[in-house]
Structures are given as structure tokens and as C-alpha cells.
């Protein structure tokens, strides 16, 4: 077992273990419905979290994604319902906008040497503000093309479905994994996370990479917004509040270090599943009050982190010879 895969393995183990525990208590949780739901319901979060993984791997953070998702939804709703544009054109347009928005934040972070936390926080205000300005109402999207897209799913035995957006999330993860581990850009992202000044000395194009990272995150946030608008058939400026925190949590549960430079895109997927599992478990239980729900989520989060630490600690031999 390679040491760098340890956190990932730990996370996967924890997921399998807790899923088994859940099933032991609620046998229904093994149904294909639950598995299909896990994919569909978390699709937008998963897609955004892939972008977040890259950002965090590079040592940054992107707080704007929730707001960008909301903006994308409202934008689509407005142009589709009031502008009469074809959804595909609108998709292309909105993805261009969010990508440029991300790139702009990346450029500010790099050229003005400002911390990502703050730049993207301002980005969050701005994106949500733009959504408000476009429309404060929630606008339903009734375009027939949406219905077509939503009609695309693969029915599993037992009533579950792999929907288009669920499949799209898996695809995005696959692409993300390839980019992270099999392209120079991916290695450069890790390099930035290992230390920007050093990476610069080693000839990594820091400016370009930073801009591309945030542009990529913006692109995926936009894609996530499209998925969200498909998911809810609407655009709403208050949608997806706090998604950035969920995404960060998924990334970190997935074994990526927030300090950057170490982690896996695949881990994020497991992180997403773990979070989804917690929620499913809580709904299956159904006896928790609002407050106990929060407390339990917090405690489970804590338990996962501890467990992960424990597994890594136990299986790491004292720094040894090569």
C-alpha cells in the first residue's frame, strides 16, 4: 500500500463500513433507489466539489461557488423564460460567463497578491448580488428541452434511476481525476499547493495556473448551476446557500489537505457519498428534531475525521528508511 493513498483508502473503508451499519439498521437503504438518489441528489454538489478540489489542492479556496450556482440558475431562467434562447446556447453562454468570472478572481488573486479567501468571498457577494438584481423571484423553467433532458435516465432494477445529471457528475469526476493526475496542468496544481514560491522557481507558470484553476472552478460551478437548474427546473437567487461549505467538507473528508498539495479528486467523491449517507440516514431515522439533526451532523463529521486520523495514524509506520 502506497502511503499517499492512505487517507483515500481510509475514507473508502469508513464509507463502506458506515453504509453497512446503516443497512443493518434500515435494510431499505440498500435499495437501488437510495443509490440512484445518492448520485442524483448530490450531482450538483459533486460537480462543484471537483472544482473545489482543484482549488484546495493548489492551496486556495473558492467561497463563491454556491452563489455562482444560484446566479447560473437565475440567469438561465431569465434568458430561457424571458429571452427565448435555446437552452444549449444559454448553457454555453452561462458557462462562458462563470468561467470568465472564475478567471477574473484567479487573476486578482495572483496579480494583486490577495488571499483567495477574501477575493472569492467578495466574488460570492457579487455573484449572489447579480442573481438578486436579475430577479428576486424564483422563476420556473418550462422549456421543453429541459423535460427532454430530465427524461434521460437509466432505470435500475428496483426502481432506482441513474439520471443524466447523476451520470454527468460521475463523468466530471472521471475527467477531474484524469486532469489531476495525468496532465501537466494537474501536476502544476499540486505543485502550487506544495509551495507557490518554490513552484515558481521550478518554472511552473504560476499566473496561468492560478487563473486556470479558478476558471476551472468557475466553469464547474457554472456546470453545477446548470445541473441544479435541471434538478429543480427553476432559477432562484437564494438557492444553494452554503454549498461551498458542503463542498469544502466533502473535499476534506475525502482526504485532501486544506493546506494544499495533497489529496485526490476521487476522495472527494467518497466525501460526497459520506455526506449524502449521513443525510439519508437522518431522514430514514426521521425522529430527530431540527436541532438534533444539526448536532448529529456535527458529531458524525467529527467522528469521520477522528476515524480517518485514527486509521492513518495506526497504519503509518514511524518514518522509515527508503
Partner 1 sequence: MTSIGRTYLMRLLPQLIALATVLIGISIVFPGFLNLEIQNDRLYGSLIDILNRGAPVVLLAIGMTVVIATKGIDLSVGAVMAICGAVSASLITSGHSLAETLLITLSVGVFCGIWNGILVAVLDIQPIIATLVLMVAGRGIAQLITEGAILTFNDPGLIFIGSGSFAGLPMPVVTWLIFGIIVALLVRQTALGMLIEAIGVNRQASTLSGVFTPVLLIAAYVLSGLCAAIAGVIAAADIRGADANNAGLWLELDAILAVVVGGTSLLGGRFSIAASVLGAIIIQSINTGILLSGFPPEFNLIIKAAIIVFILVLQSPRFRSAFTFVNIPRAAGKPTEREAK
Partner 2 sequence: AELVVGFSQIGSESGWRAAETTLTKQQAEQRGIDLKFADAQQKQENQLKAIRSFIAQGVNAILLAPVVATGWDEVLQEAKDAEIPVILLDRTVDAPKELYLTAVTSDLVHEGSVAGKWLAETVADKPCNVVELQGTTGSSPAIDRKKGFEQALSGHDNLKIIRSQTGDFTRTKGKEVMESFLKAEDGGKNICALYAHNDDMAVGAIQAIKEAGLKPGKDILVVSIDAVPDIFQAMAAGEANATVELTPNMAGPAFDVLATYLKDGKEPPKWIQTESKLYTQADDPMKVYEEKKGLGY
Partner 3 sequence: MQTSSDNILSAVRIEKGFPGTKALDKADFHLRRGEVHALLGENGAGKSTLIKCLTGAYRRDGGSILLDGAEVDPRDTFEAQRLGIGTVYQEVNLLPNLSVAENLFLGRQPRRFGMIDTRTMNRMARELLAEYELELDVTRALANYSVAIQQVVAIARAVDLSGKVLILDEPTASLDAHEVAMLFRIVRRLKARGLGIIFITHFLEQVYDISDRITVLRNGQLVGTRETTDLSRRDLIAMMIGRELADEIHAPHAATTEGELRYRFRNYGRRGRIQPFDLDVRAGEVIGIAGLLGSGRTETAEVLFGAHRADSGTAQIDGHSVELSSPRAAIRQKFGFCPEDRKTAGIVGDLSVRENIVLALQASRGWTRPISRAEQNRLADQYIRALDIRTADREKPIKLLSGGNQQKAILARWLATEPEFLILDEPTRGIDVGAHAEIIRLIETLREKGMSLIVISSEIEELVAYSTRVIVLRDRAHVAELDGDRITAHKIVEAIAAANERGAA
Ligand X SMILES: Nc1ncnc2c1ncn2[C@@H]1O[C@H](COP(=O)(O)OP(=O)(O)OP(=O)(O)O)[C@@H](O)[C@H]1O
Q: How far out from the chain centre does Cα 67 lie?
A: 13
Nearer to partner 3, 92 or 202 (CB): 202
Which part of the chain contacts ligand X (CB under 6 A), choosing from 38-46, 132-140, 277-285, 314-322? 314-322
Q: What values do phi and psi take at 131, rounded to 5?
A: -60, -45
Kindly state whether residue 2 participates in binding ligand X, applying the rule CB under 6 A.
no
Written as nine digits, the cell of 259 is: 493546506
Stretch 257-286 residues interacting with partner 3 (CB under 8 A): 261-262
Please state, in angstroms and rounded to a whole number, the distance separating the CA atoms of residues 169 and 194. 28
Please state, in angstroms and rounded to a whole number, the distance separating the CA atoms of residues 271 and 274. 5
Beta strands in 178-268 (DSSP E): 234-235
* DSSP symbol at 263: -
CB distance 230 to 161 below 8 Å: no
Q: Mark out the alpha helices in 233-289 (DSSP H runs).
A: 243-253, 265-285
Kindly state whether residue 193 participates in binding partner 3, applying the rule CB under 8 A.
yes
| Residue 239 C-beta-side C-alpha neighbours within 13 Å | 30
Residue 261, contacted partner among partner 1, partner 2, partner 3, none, CB below 5-8 A by kind: partner 3
Which part of the chain contacts partner 2 (CB under 8 A), choosing from 16-24, 46-54, 91-99, 284-292? 284-292
Residues 44-83 vs partner 3: string with x where CB under 8 A? ----------------------------------------
Kindly state whether residue 322 participates in binding ligand X, applying the rule CB under 6 A.
yes
Residues 4-43 vs partner 3: string with x where CB under 8 A? x---------------------------------------
Residues 6+ apart with CB under 8 A from 196: 59, 206
Q: How many residues bind partner 3 (CB under 8 A)?
A: 32
Angle between helices 290-315 and 6-25 (to 10 degrees): 140
CB of 226 to ligand X, least distance (A): 46
Written as nine digits, the cell of 61 is: 479556496
Residue 235: closest CA among 122, 142, 129, 126: 142
Please state, in angstroms and rounded to a whole number, the distance separating the CA atoms of residues 239 and 310. 37
Please state, in angstroms and rounded to a whole number, the distance separating the CA atoms of residues 267 and 272. 9
Which part of the chain contacts partner 1 (CB under 8 A), choosing from 8-16, 84-92, 172-180, 257-265? 257-265
* Residues within the interface to ligand X (CB under 6 A): 319, 321-322
* Residues within the interface to partner 2 (CB under 8 A): 26, 28-29, 31, 33-34, 37, 40-41, 44-45, 132, 136-140, 150, 159, 228, 231-242, 276, 279-280, 282-284, 286-291, 293-294
* Residues within the interface to partner 3 (CB under 8 A): 2-4, 178, 181-184, 186-188, 190-191, 193-195, 198-205, 261-262, 317-322
* Residues within the interface to partner 1 (CB under 8 A): 63, 108, 111-115, 117-119, 121-123, 125-126, 128-130, 132-133, 136, 245, 248-249, 252, 257-259, 289-299, 301-302, 305-306, 309
Amino acid at each position: 500500500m502506497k502511503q499517499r493513498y492512505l487517507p483515500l483508502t481510509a475514507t473508502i473503508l469508513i464509507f463502506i463500513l458506515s453504509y453497512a451499519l446503516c443497512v443493518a439498521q434500515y435494510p431499505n437503504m440498500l435499495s437501488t433507489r437510495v443509490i440512484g438518489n445518492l448520485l442524483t441528489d448530490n450531482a450538483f454538489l459533486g460537480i462543484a466539489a471537483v472544482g473545489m478540489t482543484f482549488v484546495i489542492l493548489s492551496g486556495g479556496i473558492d467561497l463563491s461557488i454556491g452563489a455562482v450556482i444560484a446566479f447560473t440558475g437565475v440567469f438561465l431562467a431569465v434568458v430561457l423564460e424571458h429571452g427565448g434562447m435555446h437552452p444549449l446556447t444559454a448553457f454555453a453562454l452561462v458557462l462562458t460567463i462563470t468561467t470568465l468570472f472564475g478567471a477574473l478572481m484567479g487573476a486578482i488573486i495572483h496579480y494583486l497578491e490577495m488571499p483567495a479567501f477574501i477575493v472569492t468571498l467578495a466574488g460570492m457577494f457579487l455573484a449572489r448580488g447579480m442573481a438578486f438584481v436579475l430577479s428576486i423571484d424564483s422563476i420556473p423553467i418550462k422549456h421543453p428541452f429541459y423535460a427532454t433532458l430530465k427524461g434521460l435516465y437509466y432505470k435500475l432494477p428496483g426502481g432506482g434511476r441513474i439520471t443524466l445529471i447523476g451520470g454527468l457528475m460521475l463523468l466530471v469526476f472521471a475527467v477531474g481525476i484524469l486532469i489531476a493526475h495525468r496532465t501537466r496542468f494537474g501536476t502544476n496544481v499540486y505543485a502550487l499547493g506544495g509551495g507557490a514560491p518554490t513552484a515558481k522557481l521550478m518554472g511552473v507558470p504560476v499566473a496561468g495556473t492560478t487563473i486556470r484553476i479558478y476558471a476551472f472552478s468557475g466553469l464547474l460551478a457554472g456546470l453545477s448551476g446548470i445541473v441544479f437548474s435541471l434538478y429543480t427546473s427553476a432559477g432562484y437567487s437564494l438557492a444553494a446557500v452554503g454549498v461551498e461549505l458542503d463542498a469544502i467538507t466533502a473535499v476534506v473528508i475525502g482526504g485532501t489537505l486544506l493546506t494544499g498539495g495533497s489529496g485526490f479528486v476521487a476522495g472527494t467523491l467518497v466525501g460526497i457519498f459520506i455526506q449524502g449517507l449521513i443525510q439519508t440516514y437522518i431522514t430514514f431515522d426521521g425522529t430527530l428534531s431540527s436541532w438534533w439533526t444539526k448536532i448529529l451532523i456535527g458529531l458524525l463529521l467529527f467522528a469521520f475525521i477522528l476515524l480517518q486520523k485514527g486509521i492513518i495514524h495506526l497504519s503509518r509506520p514511524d518514518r522509515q528508511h527508503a
